[in-house]
Amino acid sequence: MIEAYAAGARALAALCGAYLIGTPLFLLRAGASDDPAVRAWRARLLRFFPIAALGLLFALLGLLHAQASGVAAAVADLALTRDIASSTAFGRIALVRLGLALLLVPLAIGCAVRAGDRISIAAVAAMLLAAVVVGAGPLSGHAAGTDVATVLVTLHVVHVLALACWIGGLPAWITLARAAQHDHDGSIRAFAAVAMTRFSRFALPCMAVIVVAGSLIALEFVDDQGDLLGTRYGRLLCLKILALLAVLAIAHRLRTRWLPRLDEPADLDVHADGVRRTQREALFAVVVLALGAGLAQTTPAIHDQPHWWLPWRLSFDASAEVPGSRIAVLVGAGLLIAAAWWAALGARSGRGARRGIGVLGLAGLGTAAWGLSVPAYPDTFLRSPVPYLTLSIDQGRRAFAQNCVACHGTGGLGDGVLASTLRRPPADMSAPHTALHTAGDMYWWITHGMPEGPMPGFGSVLDDEQRWDTVNFLRVFSQGFQARVLSPRIVPRGPWLGAPDFYYATADGGRAQLKDLRAVRAALIVFTVAGDPRSLARLGALRSRADPRLAIVEPTSPDVWQAYQFLTRTLADRGAPDRLDLPRRHAEFLVDRFGYVRARWLPEDDPTHANDFDLDAAVSALAEEPEILPPPDLHLH
């Protein structure tokens, strides 16, 4: 309820702000005229200025009160609202916006009472002031909280101003078209034709800015298809895009079909048609503004938990396992190319040809989408609330050992004692395809069982945390088989294996976490063998290195080794097929400063140290390497 209140206040503020910005802009573009009909039209527009200014003021007050109520989780009283306004960053911005909006009121009244042949300085001042009030909104919005705040806030400011310029001009357009519709002596029609053509030229770049800036902002808050269709933010965004597409279609038709007709001999029906179309455009524009207000009030998709509602999702990698999928993708791409080729040949001029191109294009899209689709579940795009910690992996290993080995085998290879009795063989957890499933897919299967398969659900056996622990374990277990290619040599520009995070004691007796080293320096994780002089001597030698670009990390907690041992399989040694763990001893992992395991040295496989790390060269190479992939997510997704 409070969110709806806040979104309503935002929408009202956006509408009033747009009117105060767009109307003077339209009048400026239209130019001066002393025609009485034009003067009357201008006066009518400016008469609404005080109402819009007051609307903006009250909407901003309402928004501040709604935000205070959100903090209190109840309707906020005056004292709390005042407290929040004076002692929070967004409250102070709200106060500045309110102060400027208050200044707008007398200016707007001045505009209303002094409408003349041309737009007044007061109206221009009101427009600029309104632009500042509207443009200051994103300073305390979602965009300002990102890592690229300066860029995104600027984009957001440009986006909302372009929207205001375009949407705010529509009332002037509609009322002018309506005046022209009833203009029997033709005095206003010539003026209207010039004014609308000029505004249309101005609105076109506005539209381009809205689309480009809006897309860039959306990309920052929406990560994937799950975010787009599975979250409230994503669905609102989709609706906003659809409404904007409708607006663009109407605007395109107005520009290409309707505006040229204004030059034809007087035809009052032309203006009636223009009024109808622009009213439709304005209606969609209001929907765009309202959805924008809703988006500003909604948790960004990347911070929310997606709930997927389609039985399939699109995945290029995962669909490669499905027979025939690549052929379908190729056929779909071929149909799309054929449709594009047909359109490029100019065959689209005829209605039948256009339909043909449309059908061909849709068939291409559908075929390609079918080829790329794989089964999906409501939890497919869930973000794990349990961090990818060695503690969690170790707990997941225990849960797997207690609940899953009867079918999946004591070594996780799908060869458990019950496997031969099942109508469908259990999954081999070492297979590469395990990594192609999302963490949410696995969570769903563990919770509810495999659809059309013998695996039961464990939702009543394992609690939520244990199920995510199991997912974390399965991820590292599967990746361990792919990590067999790891060697003491780093592959330049080739990060792919995220290092599981863990806590450890530092040399000075403090506590630290592996992820603390991110963006600071590379880490060499050293697992030693207690009482083994060679292992301890090696550690001593590493400790004596004084390289500020490399931290020597010596985890002692058993869970860290339990997790990292899964990454010690080699091409020569996959490990025993009936055991999850490996009997390795000393091991070293080189992790780059972005959190990826880049190299590994296992002395048992290299007793003469002939194939040891060339640490100086490796650390230098990693230090010079730019960020190739974003740091691995601390929560599986």
Partner 1 sequence: MIRLLFAALLIAFGTGAWAHAALTKSIPGNREVLAASPASIHLKFNEKVEAKFSKVSLEDAHGKPVTLGTPAVAADDPYALQTPVTGPLAAGRYTVRYRVLSQDGHVIERSFVFTIGTPETPTP
Alpha helices, H only, 313-350 = 316-319, 325-344
> At closest approach, how far in Å is the CB of 504 from partner 1?
10
- Tell me the two tokens of residue 511: 């506590």
With CA atoms as reference, report the closest residue to 17 among 51, 62, 43, 40. Answer: 51
Helix, strand and coil content of the chain, in percent to the nearest 5, comes to 65, 5, 30
Among the listed residues 82, 235, 303, 484, the single contact to partner 1 using CB under 8 A: 303
Instruction: Mention every residue, 6+ apart, whose C-beta is less than 8 A from residue 92.
Output: 85, 86
Among 44, 261, 326, 398, binds partner 1 (CB under 8 A): 398
Minimum CB separation of residue 225 from partner 1 in Å reads 21
> By C-beta, is 70 or 449 nearer to partner 1?
70
* Among 141, 161, 137, CA closest to 149: 141
Which residue among 125, 146, 202, 487 contacts partner 1 (CB under 8 A)? 146
We find the least distance from the C-beta atom of residue 82 to partner 1, in angstroms, to be 13
Site string for partner 1, 512-531 (x = CB under 8 A): -x-xx---------------
Buried b (16+ CB within 10 A) or exposed e, 250-264: bbeebbeebbeebee
How many binding residues for partner 1 (CB under 8 A)?
51
Q: How far is the CB of 10 from partner 1 (least distance, A)?
A: 11
Place of tokens 């505009």: 111
Nearer to partner 1, 138 or 603 (CB): 138
Instruction: Determine which residue in the list 559, 588, 592, 625 makes contact with partner 1, applying CB under 8 A.
Output: 559
Q: What is the closest distance, in whole angstroms, from the C-beta atom of residue 589 to partner 1 in the complex?
A: 20
> How many alpha carbons lie under 13 Å from residue 13 in its C-beta half-sphere?
33
Of the residues 33, 81, 120, 140, which one makes contact with partner 1 according to CB under 8 A: 140
Nearer to partner 1, 150 or 215 (CB): 150
Instruction: Indicate the residue among 128 and 419 with the shorter CB distance to partner 1.
Output: 128
Q: Which stretch binds partner 1 (CB under 8 A): 102-110, 227-235, 394-402, 487-495?
A: 394-402
| Rounded CA separation 286/177 (Å) | 19
374 vs 314: CA distance, rounded Å: 6
Helix (H, G, I), strand (E, B) or coil at 498: strand
- Kindly state the smallest distance separating residue 350's Cβ from partner 1, in Å: 46
491/485 Cα distance (integer angstroms): 11
Among 161, 174, 192, 539, binds partner 1 (CB under 8 A): 161
Beta carbon nearer to partner 1, 29 or 515 = 515
Handedness of CA 365, 367, 369, 371 (dihedral sign): negative
User: Please, what is the minimum distance in Å from the beta carbon of residue 99 to partner 1?
Assistant: 13
As measured in angstroms, the least distance from the Cβ of 73 to partner 1 is 8
Return the number of the residue (73 or 610) whose C-beta is nearest partner 1. 73
Residue 180 or 636: the one with the smaller Cβ distance to partner 1 is: 636
Q: How many CB atoms lie within 10 A of CB 601?
A: 23
Part of the chain binding partner 1 (CB under 8 A), chosen from 148-156, 285-293, 332-340, 412-420: 148-156
Is 155 a binder of partner 1 (CB under 8 A)?
no
- Note whether 305 binds partner 1 by CB under 8 A: no
Name the minimum Å distance from CB 419 to partner 1. Answer: 23
- Beta carbon nearer to partner 1, 302 or 376: 302
The angle subtended at Cα 253 by Cα 248 and Cα 255, nearest 5°, is 90
**Would you count residue 403 as binding partner 1 (CB under 8 A)?**
no
Asked whether the beta carbons of 386 and 472 are under 8 A apart, the reply is: yes
Closest by CA to 97, choosing from 59, 40, 136, is: 136
Q: Is 411 in the site for partner 1 (CB under 8 A)?
A: no
Q: Does 208 bind partner 1 (CB under 8 A)?
A: no
Among 90, 202, 342, 496, the residue binding partner 1 under the rule CB under 8 A is 90
In the bound complex, what is the minimum distance in angstroms from residue 423's beta carbon to partner 1? 32
Q: Are strands 550-553 and 522-527 parallel, antiparallel or unpaired?
A: parallel
Cα separation, 510 vs 517, in Å, equals 15
Of the residues 43, 103, 105, 139, which one makes contact with partner 1 according to CB under 8 A: 139
Q: Which of 389, 453, 387 has its CA nearest to residue 422?
A: 453
**According to the binding rule CB under 8 A, does residue 153 interact with partner 1?**
yes
For partner 1, the binding residues in 561-590 under the rule CB under 8 A are 562
- For the stretch 399-434, what's the b/e string if a residue is b when 16 or more beta carbons lie within 10 angstroms of its beta carbon? bbeebbbebbbbbbbbbbeebeeeeeebbbbbeeeb
- Minimal distance, residue 483 CB to partner 1, in Å: 22
Among residues 400, 425, 430, the alpha carbon closest in space to that of 413 is found at 430
Q: Report if residue 111 touches partner 1, rule: CB under 8 A.
A: no
Q: Does 89 bind partner 1 (CB under 8 A)?
A: yes
**Pair of tokens at residue 585:** 């001893």
Nearer to partner 1, 224 or 469 (CB): 469
Considering only residues 46 to 85 of the shown chain, the ones binding partner 1 according to CB under 8 A are 67, 70-71, 73, 84
598's enclosing H/E stretch is strand 596-601
> Which of helix, strand or coil describes residue 382?
coil
Q: Which of 58, 202, 370, 503 binds partner 1 (CB under 8 A)?
A: 503
Q: Which of the stretches 299-307, 430-438, 488-496, 529-537 binds partner 1 when contact is defined by CB under 8 A?
A: 299-307
Closest CA to 468 of 453, 447, 450, 448: 447
Q: Strand, coil or helix: what is 551? A: strand
Q: Is 95 exposed, middle or buried (0-12, 13-18, 19+ CB in 10 A)?
A: middle
Copy the structure tokens of residue 342. 């047909």
Query: Residue 587: helix, strand or coil by DSSP?
Result: strand
Q: Which of 395, 434, 470, 528 binds partner 1 (CB under 8 A)?
A: 395
Amino acid at 175: T
Whichever of 130 and 374 has its CB closer to partner 1, that residue is 130
Q: Choose, by CB under 8 A, the member of 197, 200, 279, 299 that binds partner 1.
A: 299
SS3 213: helix
Q: Binding residues for partner 1, per CB under 8 A? A: 67, 70-71, 73, 84, 87-91, 93, 128, 131-132, 135-136, 139-146, 149-150, 153-154, 157-158, 161, 299-300, 303, 387, 389, 391-392, 394-395, 398, 401, 503, 511, 513, 515-516, 557-559, 562
